[in-house]
Amino acid sequence: MMNTKYMLLFAGALMLASCSDIPGHFTEKSVSPMLFPDIADVTIPVNIAPLNFRLNGNTRKLIAVYECEKNINIFYGKHAIEIPVGKWHRMLEKYSDKSINVTLFSKEEGKWIKYLPFKINIKKEAIDPYMAYRLIAPGYESWSEMGIYQRNLTNFDEETIIDNRLLPGNCMNCHSFNNNDPGQMMFHLRGNIAGTVLVKDGTVTKLNTKTKETISNCVYPYWHPSGDYIAYSVNAISQVFHTTKEKRIEVMDSKSDIVVYDLKTNKLITSKLISSEDSFETFPSFSPDGKTLFFCSARKGTLPDDFNKIRYSLCKIDFDPASASFGSSIDTLISSYKTGKSISFPRPSHDGKYIMFTMSDYGNFSIWHNEADLFLLNLKDGSFKRMANINSGNSESYHSWSSGSHWFVFSSRRIDGLYTRPYFAWLDENGEATKPFLLPQKDPDFYDYCLRSFNVPELITGKVMVNGRNMLKSIGADAKNITFEQKD
């Protein structure tokens, strides 16, 4: 057995050997490296997949030196730095709640160049290890190829939950989970086998959610934390096209109400307060304690003439899960008359402290609005603010929280203004967000050749075990009809 003295000598020899791989002669540039994705000074969870990157330019060889507390890890590449998953996770575990200094050397025209170092900050709190999302072409004419997928965020594994290679001619959308639980899921099918597919307690059920009393089939969903209810909007959705290149399309509601599906009684319930003929109500979400229903509401307008005048406020109404009843009044949390803006996608944090929402100039389909930004409402004092470190010059839209209420994912078109990609960030105890980072890919060139947008990213605590093939029998069956009840 090697004694302690020789073990220390051996470890020292290994350190010298690894340090000797660092170039001895180089030109030091006083600029930061131009990386894609931009990972400089980001904050990441301890369980995230390797942040592989490339250096833009005519690079022939790369050396990346990761250093923390005098410990050094060195990785090599030609076009890019791609770090093995195992080595990456060992490094993150060792340096959790610390910062790693990264120094990049590149060989260009036979000479080494050293760039200014940058940091990667590691949080010990893990992010939910899976994310579900839809992949779809970024246009609006066709959905011939689409699907709902799940990605293991700790590595690069992607699996299909369901796609329309299995179900030709059908669209699937609006996937949703109860409290990030992969075992409680729903999504809609649109097409020749239309219905709402509900997965709960290992059982798959297809529902026909259109009743004679409601505007449409159920659309935008949000689960009640008990798992006994799902709030939906019902919408008459239309789209119009702009004639200028600056804007492509407007998606809008000519009617919309909110209903709540009671899983126990197989019934849609509502109140006149949240299904008013004088207002458009949409995008419901429940508070973590299940006693409040948040939603967006706008004064009814004439469409398409008033398309750029429709602005949604953030509102709430009490909800009693024991009696499946609603409160007698609506409170406005943020008024569009005061902000002059429009709110969509209110998403409460699981700890009940905040609501994150999207704000744009008008309307509710924010993904087509370059000015759409993320905001944060403090539920304790009622204040709200634009999330300065998160937003860009392009659209920031859909978002969801990790279980611990610090990590979140959001959709952004910041790279090219066309394709939607998922970004992640950490929210600290003061409600300040860190610099976001792009969903890691094994090949840093992935986003150059991926011709589909990531739609509705939802963080989940584990893998969805039910997939399209073992849902086929239920999907092919006749949809179960539901009933309707007005609670007033």
Mean pLDDT, consecutive 10-residue segments, the chain of 488 residues? Answer: 36 39 88 96 98 87 94 93 97 97 92 96 98 84 77 98 85 94 95 92 94 94 98 78 54 82 97 93 97 95 73 97 97 97 97 97 80 96 96 95 98 93 97 98 96 95 92 92 90
Q: How far apart are CA 262 and CA 177, in angstroms?
A: 16
Opening angle at CA 330, ends 327 and 336, nearest 5: 160
Pairing of strands 61-68, 354-360: unpaired
Identify whether the C-beta of residue 355 lies closer than 8 Å to the C-beta of residue 345: no
- Report which of 166, 159, 243 is spatially closest to residue 197, judged by C-alpha positions: 166
Q: CA 361 → CA 210, 272, 309, 339, 373, distances in Å?
A: 32, 28, 9, 10, 10
Say what the pLDDT of residue 15 is. Answer: 36
Which residues lie closer than 8 Å to 423 by C-beta, 6 or more apart?
Answer: 390, 409, 410, 411, 412, 414, 436, 437, 438, 439
Q: How far apart are CA 253 and CA 237, in angstroms?
A: 5
Neighbours of 467 (CB within 10 A): 16
Q: Indicate if the alpha-carbon torsion angle 102, 105, 40, 53 is positive or negative.
A: negative
3-state helix, strand, coil in the chain (%, to 5): 10, 45, 45
Question: Which amino acid appears at position 156 of this protein?
Answer: F
Q: How far apart are CA 213 and CA 221, in angstroms?
A: 19
Within 314-431, residue ranges assigned H as helices are: 336-339
Say what the pLDDT of residue 110 is. Answer: 86
The structure's pTM equals: 0.92
Cα Dmax for the chain: 84
Pairing of strands 42-45, 118-123: parallel
CATH class of 19-123: mainly beta
Q: How far apart are CA 276 and CA 252, in angstroms?
A: 17
Say what the pLDDT of residue 467 is. Answer: 86
Ranges for all domains in the chain classified under CATH 2.120.10.30: 130-481
Say what the pLDDT of residue 24 is. Answer: 83
The torsion region of residue 212 among left (phi > 0), alpha (psi -120 to 50) and beta comes to alpha
Task: For residue 190, give the H/E element and its range.
Answer: strand 181-190
The CATH fold assigned to 130-481 is: Neuraminidase (2.120.10)
Q: Which residues pair with 68 in a beta bridge?
A: 71
